[in-house]
A and B are shown apart, each in its own frame.
Chain A
Amino acid sequence: MMGTEYWGWAGEAHLREHGESGGAVSGLLASVLSSYDEVIVIRKTGTVFEAEVHTLDSPQGIARVQGALHAVSIELSHYLQLGRKTAIVLKPCEARAVIENIKRNHVRREDVLLIGLNCGGTLPPVKTKEYLRTQFGVSPGDIAKEEIAKGNLIFFTTDGQELSRSIDELEEAGYGRRESCRYCDVKIPSMCDIACGNWGTPAEKHITFLEVFTDAGAAALEAAVDGGYVSVSEPGEKLAAVRKKIEGIMVKMAKGWQEKMLGPFMAMEPKERLDAIHAALAPCIGCYACRKACPVCKCGDDCKCFQADPDDQLPISMFHAVRFLHLMESCVGCGQCSDACPMEIPLAHLHQLFAKAYEGRTGYKPGMSCGDIPPLSRGDFPEGY
């Protein structure tokens, strides 16, 4: 094959027309169906806010799962099982969680084909529905599609309207993307086998930008091209550069949000910060939903975060204190914990506070490469001792 970057589209005309940006992902899925035990995707089940996890078992099913869903943030990495050959379509946060799970032997790298999707962020469904209702008088069933493009959130209604607002404006007003998405700085999932997206492609031309990162990805793409499922060409040089530029802009925006959301905590005096963390955790009712939602928490019922009796009245419960410690080296910033917390505790911010502080000091970033050894697992000779 020519290089690591391509423009791609589905070989089959129907998939190309209805697929997101030319359906290259759909074509890839059609190609890998027969060589994997399981192919895991998300399927829309009603309005653009309703979806479920789905295993593809026939080429006919592919047409039903086409189309990006920005208002859905199901964490698919939970569905991988050890020992099963699986192809899975993932956002960067999910892919990073898979990498963390691979590091801890919950999944084997060679068993999974990670088809990554570029991601600018997802929307919280209930808040977004409320926004559409109050600002535009539009109900969920009226929305055909949504898109995030050029700094705007655009809703396309079934009767052809385009409802667009600047993401910045929305987010200042408390709407827009989920908070953890705003300061996520991994927009192109380079830890996957292939990353797919529409940055760096000519508009309206039904083309996906594909970047291949691994041999397995290259082999999968080659097989898809040979089988007629996907067609590829060299990407236009200028547009390929535009892709990098967009990524850069989005990462810069993310750093800005990180400063805004986590900066105040880091700027506090230690005692003040401890008090702020204590106060943030005070409403906790001990439901453990955060742990259930967390894609890197795979310890099972005998997890160390449960080692202390919850009836012990500790200033901060051991459950949280231990998770802060463990997630300092493994939190991928997916925000599922905040999504799951019934008492609206900003857990994602708290865990990212630790993870980003650690990353800032040591450069260790969870979920980027299977070869990175988690700090708490290290047993090598310590330098300087």
Chain B
Amino acid sequence: MGEPLSQVLLRSKRHILTIENGLLVLLLTGIILLATLQIALRNVWDMGLSWADPTLRVAVLWVTLLGAMAATRDDNHIQIDLLTRFLSESLKKYVRLVTDLFSAFICGLLSWHGGRFVYFEWEDGSILFASVPAWVCELIIPLGFGVMALRFLVTGLLRIRPQRAT
């Protein structure tokens, strides 16, 4: 019934991309404006927003993970990649499958242990600043690495998909 699964997947992929990019742009714009406002307040009126500095620091963490997620999507992480230059195309595919699966496994582990970290903080009810609970700010760690794990897994598997005749 309804649309085929592949269509649903494609559409949700598009939505996720929009949300990710939107969040990244929004965060960076927010950082620029808030940091500039803070300087203006400090130098011109000799005051400051007490929540601005911790917010900016958490925003850097979010930008880091959202940026790394985007880098995973673009296949644009910092890497050495000295050997694959000398491999044939077909061999390269399988080598990249191995590195992608390995990356997916490690990101999966990071996501899982990040999740446990967030859970501990939630149980403790620790507060980061004002009344913002720490776990909300840390949530991006398991989320980010989880998304990266999935991306590595999917790109890895797509590499060895049999080429469809056109």
Do A and B originate from a single complex? Answer: no
